[in-house]
Chains A and B, each alone.
Chain A
Amino acid sequence: MSTIQRTWKLNGKKVSVRGPAGRRLLDYLREDLDLIGAKEGCGEGECGACTVLIDNEPVASCIVPIGQLADGTEILTIEGVEKKRAGRLLQRAFLECGAVQCGFCIPGMIISAYALLMRNPRPTPRAIRAALAGNLCRCTGYAKIIQAVTLASSRLPVPTKRK
């Protein structure tokens, strides 16, 4: 075992991290920090329930060892997403569209949708489907989730265009 000591920016706040280098980010978030929004559905990077953003990219936190996250790494979890405008819009749209059923996949789903809107504020339905393809949902059949992301996108300010 090797122990690491790092400083990350987690949900906008500096955190000091200490633990075995091979500890899964998911376990660290859930057990050490009680950030339980990210869920374990499969433990092998297939279901997306554990999705968090690392430096703006969605990753499956169940297969990321904390040692690989250098000082200064920015991590965003569902608990931090509501501090972001697009995050709040997504949460609101998920409520309004009925995109939530059992809810277990939803934190990961919203994180993936948030990552998409950060890159592409006006995604096509096809782009939304592709961006969410790594998040399995067994309840909804995705229709209302795609609708909710579309609705949130429509409420985001129009991206500034070059003149």
Chain B
Amino acid sequence: MRPTENINIRFPKNLQEALRLQAKAGTRGQLLAGGTDLMVQWVSGTPPPRRATSVWNLPELCEIEVRDKDILIGAGVTHAFLVDATPIHRHLPALVAAAGTVGAAQIQARGTLGGNVANASPAGDTAPALLVTDGTVLLASLGGIREVPLTQFWTGYRQIDARPDEIIQAFRLPKKGAARERFRKIGTRKAQAISKIMAASRIRVRKGQIVSAAIALGSIAATPVRLTQVEDFLAGKPLTAKLITDAEQLAQKTVQPIADIRSTAEYRRWVTGRLVRDALENL
């Protein structure tokens, strides 16, 4: 018998019921979405919780709404669904590309955007692409909706700014508009790989001038990070070869990479600059 069989899993029919369960459960209310991270942890040594609440397929969490300026994506939307959701492709290309690099087909079919964010791994594949949108997380509780900027949502290694009674309902992600997005993931192989480093960028250029730049990295620190110093440096400047070189060097100077089994700090530092260059050269 597997340890997961001991879990008392509740299956609420809708978000309201799930929120009530969470309010009652307090800190013990482990949420379970597609299980692509949690089920693995629970069969490989991490003791499973006594109780869990399944939010898989909750109808309120599975919606995508394309609006004027932004897109609402339900937390329960799977990566496979994002990859197939053509109406959002031109608005959030980096996110769609990132979703397509999560595991392989089997994981994309079960893994959800909300799960990927809530799991708060520094290697969460969708995090950098979400970060560059300057979007928000919509947290539902019985008290209503609380909206937290994604840039403030990951508070530490595997830590998020959410209360035990809150459930991530959706993400509000501004469309990229005239900006260009780019996403690159460097792994040990081409599929089914936890990244060595990832970079997403959303940069807007008008008449040779950088209007705004958002650049985010994953697998480089305890949380996914934005390269704010590089972004500030770029904003308002004309896009020249020298600017690109300066930005590359600034990125290498300011980034604070970790070393772990997947890569070295030196490589991550260097490639951070290269990825900044790559983003700027492909505008």
Residues of A within 8 A of B (CB): 1-2, 4, 19-24, 27, 43-46, 48, 51, 54, 57-60, 62-65, 67-68, 70, 112, 115, 130-131, 133-136
The stretch of B4-12, B167-175, B263-271 in contact with A is: B4-12
Q: In the bound complex, what is the Cα–Cα distance between A144 and B4 (angstroms)?
A: 38
Residue from A2, A63, A68, A134 in contact with B104 in the complex, judged by beta carbons closer than 8 Å: A134
Measured as residues with beta carbon below 8 angstroms from the partner, the interface class of chain B is 20 to 34
Contact of B8 among A1, A43, A62, A64 (CB under 8 A): A1
Question: Of B5, B44, B48, B192, which contacts A134 at CB under 8 A?
Answer: B192
Interface segment among B16-24, B32-40, B125-133, B218-226: the answer is B32-40
**How far, in whole Å, are A60 and B10 apart by their CA atoms in the complex?**
22
Whether A44 contacts B43 by the Cβ 8 Å rule is yes
Partner of A130, one of B10, B48, B52, B191: B191
A68 touches B191 (CB 8 A): no
Q: Which residues of B contact A (CB under 8 A)?
A: 2, 4-11, 32, 35-36, 39-40, 43-44, 48, 52, 54, 56-57, 80, 103-107, 109-110, 190-192
A67: chain B residues at CB < 8 Å are: 9, 11, 54
- The minimal Cβ–Cβ distance linking B183 to chain A, given in whole angstroms, is 16
Q: How far is the CA of A7 from the CA of B152 in the complex (A)?
A: 43
CB-CB nearest in chain A for B56: A68
The answer to whether A21 touches B44, judged by C-beta atoms less than 8 angstroms apart, is no
Sampled A-B contacts (15; CB under 8 Å): A22-B2, A23-B4, A24-B39, A43-B43, A45-B36, A45-B39, A51-B106, A58-B106, A58-B109, A68-B32, A68-B56, A112-B106, A133-B190, A133-B191, A135-B104
Given A68-B35, A134-B103, A134-B192, also A59-B110 (CB < 8 A): yes
Known: A48-B104, A57-B109. A64 touches B192 (CB 8 A): no
Tell whether, in the assembled complex, residue B8 and residue A65 are in contact, meaning their CB atoms are under 8 Å apart: no
The 10 closest A-B pairs by CB, nearest first: A134-B104, A133-B191, A22-B4, A63-B39, A20-B5, A57-B109, A21-B9, A22-B7, A44-B40, A60-B106
Interchain nearest-CB distance for B29 vs A (Å)? 14
A24-B2 contact in complex given A67-B9, A134-B191, C-beta closer than 8 Å: yes
Contact: B4 with A65, CB < 8 Å?
yes
Contact in complex: B39, A23 (CB < 8 Å): no
**Contact of A134 with B107 in the complex, beta carbons under 8 Å:** yes
How far apart are the CA atoms of A136 and B192 in the complex, in Å? 10
Q: Are A64 and B110 in contact (CB under 8 A)?
A: yes
A64 and B35 in contact, given A20-B5, A44-B43 (Cβ under 8 angstroms): yes
Residue of A20, A22, A58, A65 with most partner-chain B CB within 10 A: A22
Q: Which residue of A lies closest to B38 (CB)?
A: A63
Picked from B44, B52, B80, B106, the residue with its CB within 8 Å of the CB of A43 is B44
- A56–chain B nearest beta-carbon distance, Å: 9
Provide the residues of chain A in CB contact with B2, threshold 8 Å.
22-24, 27
Return B104 CB to nearest CB of chain A, in Å. 3
Docked-complex contact B10 and A45, CB < 8 angstroms: no
Report the Cα distance A2→B106, complex, angstroms: 26
Q: Which residues of B contact A48 (CB under 8 A)?
A: 104, 106
Q: Evaluate contact between B80 and A63: CB separation under 8 angstroms.
A: no
Chain A residues closer than 8 Å to B192, beta-carbon distance = 46, 133-134, 136
Nearest A residue to B44 via CB reads A44
